[in-house]
Amino acid sequence: MRAKLLFAVSAAAFLGACANMDIPGVRGMADEGSAFDAALHQGYSDLAQAEYEEADWVDARYFTNRAKMAAMGQDTGPQPLADRDLPENGLSEISVARADMIAAFDAGGRDKSPQAAGRTQVGFDCWMQELEENIQQEDIDNCRAAFYQALAIVQADIAPSESMAKAAPMMMPEPMNIYFAFDSAVLGDKAMPVVTGIVEAYEKYDPKMISLTAYADRAGDAMYNDMLAKSRVDAVVKALRDHGISPSKLAISISGEANVPVPTADGVAEQGNRVVTVKFEDGM
């Protein structure tokens, strides 16, 4: 009887959560606000769906509500730090990151770069949510990377003076990282904003070449890890080609478990090494 009661309570909680989350309906709402609000609407809808698929009903409902507010043109603002129980070892960086984001927004980033600004705020809220859970390092890294990549575009768009830009060569953006799950070459939902950031950086900075280096952690056989790394970079290349980037612009290197970004002993599974690193080359 107790088991049946617990099941009934769990089922009721599940149904109650779902009742407040019409994600497809919210995604389909007409945008009533600015281009920035529209970007938030799309981004929060994507985030809500990702959390829903992970059975995180609380955050799925939270992001659904934010998507709805954005569609209606209501000011969501980036989530306050105090709203999340963040670990001490991540608080300093994310506090500075939030301040940088607000500074960029206050300097006109929402109007001058609405799409990237929207992804910046969504990436920040995603980063905070994953950091609070502090369970899936891959998701933390992908949200963090999406935030920084989008913020870099906003900061470039609000940079002063076209004449100053002509006076000096445009600096290439920082390298970007796409992380993968253990023993996987699948681009997850939270990796796709990183792909979008790569495409936008390519269009904005017009690099001579994009170099992609694929890694695997040192768990398992070295030959298998080389094949896994190749499968990962193949997935990234396909995504970039699907977005219109020519294969002739892509230089591919398979590192596997050799010279990994995070040095470890053999046999160690390390999230930071399940990655494809993307660098932009200016040809100089």
Q: For each of the chain's 284 residues, which pLDDT tens digit applies?
A: 434 333 344 444 444 445 457 999 999 999 999 999 999 999 999 999 999 998 999 999 999 999 999 999 998 889 998 899 998 888 878 988 999 999 999 999 999 999 999 999 999 999 999 999 998 888 898 899 999 989 999 998 988 755 554 555 567 877 888 989 999 999 987 788 888 888 988 888 889 999 999 999 999 899 999 999 999 999 999 999 999 999 999 999 999 999 998 899 999 998 889 999 999 988 65
pTM: 0.59
- Return the percent helix, strand and coil in the chain, to nearest 5: 60, 10, 30
Taking CA atoms, 205 is separated from 122, 201, 243, in Å, by 23, 6, 16
* 275-281 and 176-179 beta bridge pairing: antiparallel
Q: Which helix (H) or strand (E) holds 279?
A: strand 275-281
Domains, the chain, in order of start with CATH, read 2-157 (no CATH), 169-281 (3.30.1330.60)
Residue with tokens 């829903």: 52
| Bridge partners of residue 210, in order along the sequence | 250, 280
Question: How far is residue 61's CA from residue 57's CA, in Å, rounded to a whole number?
Answer: 6
| Closest among 75, 74, 20, 76 to 48, alpha carbons compared | 20
Distance (Å, whole) CA 21 – CA 27:
11
Cα(first)–Cα(last) distance of the chain, in Å? 73
Q: Are 172 and 282 in contact (CB under 8 A)?
A: yes
Spatial distance between the Cα atoms of 99 and 105, rounded to a whole number of angstroms: 10
Give me the amino acid identity at 48.
A
Q: What is the CA radius of gyration of the chain?
A: 20
